[in-house]
Structure 1
């Protein structure tokens, strides 16, 4: 569940950082100078990749610290007898069972899929955040677009919580395949030993949707980033996609 919480937090945190960066450049009109030498699409990609690398760096640091912590715990509780003694001291808390559960997790698989789904979820939502941010002039104007996106991420988070108790249920299954919820929900289901084809299908749908969304985001970004004094609706933004 910790991986689910991390992905949820980082998608919101770094997605908002992308949005703030786009808004800041647009409000200060720095972007007008930048697009004279850099294509808007390349500017968008660079922004998403740059902030994403910051997020990955932070995750690596946290991972190293967590590894040191677990290594220390394993040295401190080096035998089942010690774990049983600690459980006795702590009353009903099953320390031996907790240690056994932690050691029984395939951490390499979890870390691998965490990286895959974190990157996929981040680039998908970062593209959406940047797309909507480029179409408005201030942070207040983003609420009409960002509220549904934020609610969707929150729904994925609560679906992940539900999936802990029912990882093979219909809600868990479908939300782990739908690209907008799969980065969060799938990390809950993986420790329960789901079939490989579900994991691969989820990854394929996630990255396929990102490619599709990024295409539309780039089209809207290149027009919206230079558009001022107007509050477009979704219908008008769809027209921007056809501009050449």
Structure 2
């Protein structure tokens, strides 16, 4: 055991002290927060106000185009030829021409511009014209605008989980997002850190350093120490990413909330309501929907301690299972180029797991979801997709038990290959040769 701890300590410290580790650990959260902060900042930033001239020969849309912060409308009383001639010398961004027969021929509307107009501007103009024409035709049929508005219903259902603890509000949207993120992190970590184990073993074998190490450490202890050491590096990076991202996100959200409050009094009222812990109905203007509050409420409805605990277990279990196989490949070959022929059988289950996860999100309690969350080679990713939706305790326990057995099996298999291949040089290894190594005494 002492030798294993020495190998773990060496593998951990060597990787943690690298500049690349420090840079990626600090740069990852910064890039993540900077990306989303930039998106929000651009969305909240000022947009140039556009001026649109409207030539309405029908006289039906005189007061229908409403000015906004981004659009200003100016109505013209002239012929279309005169309007087009003056438009070229004006500072207007677009000229909308609505002919007299627009009711019978709605496609006769024309939008003139020095350059192509944006899709948003085109859609806004078409929406106003379509709505007015619909209202006119409905009025002729005896249906008023009030009747039409009363008939429109927006259904926004609330999902509630019925459990032994009683009724509890749930969110399928939040479960989908959290499950997808956890599955993606495990998918990436298995590839990244498993490959590090394989390359580390290959480098030591190529440089013949391993011959010196094996003289004082058993091959199995060396392999196990490398696997656990790299796993601890991955956990350290994940923990630092979570802490740094949380701190940066909190600071960024304060800045963005202040900017949102400056631009919209309604948002300011909502923020005040959230800080006081009051429901929306208790605040003036509290009927305003706040997407941030909705997201926080949806996430809080999930069993976050269970999700976090299972994530750590399945991250470690999935990594340990696959890294043992990656380590066996590294010991069996002499250079990185030869690893490709043995990588496919290892990477296919990981890729299939990520593909199956898309279908499991649609039916988290289906037959495919059950079996793929039980099989050790696919359970780390699939089970993390299912857990936010709610999984029976016996299924989680069975999945964890089989994953532990799977890790023990792959470690035994990898150790049999490792003990022979680590000192094998100058020989092209095949699958048949690997099978012989497994049963060597």
Is residue 2:364 matched to residue 1:167? yes
Q: Highest relative contact order (Cα 8 Å, sep 6+), 1 or 2?
A: 1
Contact 1:114-1:187 within 8 A present in 2 as well = yes
1:28 to 196, 207, 212: 207
Alignment of 1:1-244 (within 5 A): 1-68=180-247, 79=274, 81=280, 85=288, 87=290, 94-244=291-441
Alignment size in residue pairs = 238
- The Cα of 1:113 is off from its aligned counterpart by 0.2
What CA distance in whole angstroms lies between the structure 1 residues aligned with 2:192 and 2:375?
21
Does the 8 Å contact 1:176/1:182 carry over to 2? yes
Other structure's SS at 2:428 match? coil
C-alpha distance after superposition, 1:12-55 (max 9, x if no partner): 00000001001100111110111011111111011101111000
Alpha-carbon deviations, 1:96-121, whole Å to 9, x = none? 43222111121111110001100000
Deviation at 1:69, TM superposition (A): 5.8
SS at match of 1:232: coil
Greater Rg over alpha carbons, structure: 2
Could you say which residue in structure 2 is the equivalent of 1:90?
A: none
- Normalising to structure 1: TM-score of the pair? 0.90
Cα deviation for residue 84 of structure 1 reads 6.4
SS of aligned partner of 1:194:
coil
Question: C-alpha distance in 1, partners of 2:322/2:440?
Answer: 23
In angstroms, what is the RMSD of aligned CA positions?
A: 2.2
Q: Is the 8 A contact 1:166 1:172 kept in 2?
A: yes
- Give 1:66 deviation, angstroms: 4.2
Q: More strand per residue: 1 or 2?
A: 2
* TM-aligned CA distance change 1:19 to 1:169, over 3 Å: same
Q: Shift of residue 240 of structure 1?
A: 1.1
TM-score (norm 2): 0.51
More divergent stretch after superposition (154-163 vs 194-203): 154-163
Unpaired runs of 5+ in structure 1? 88-93
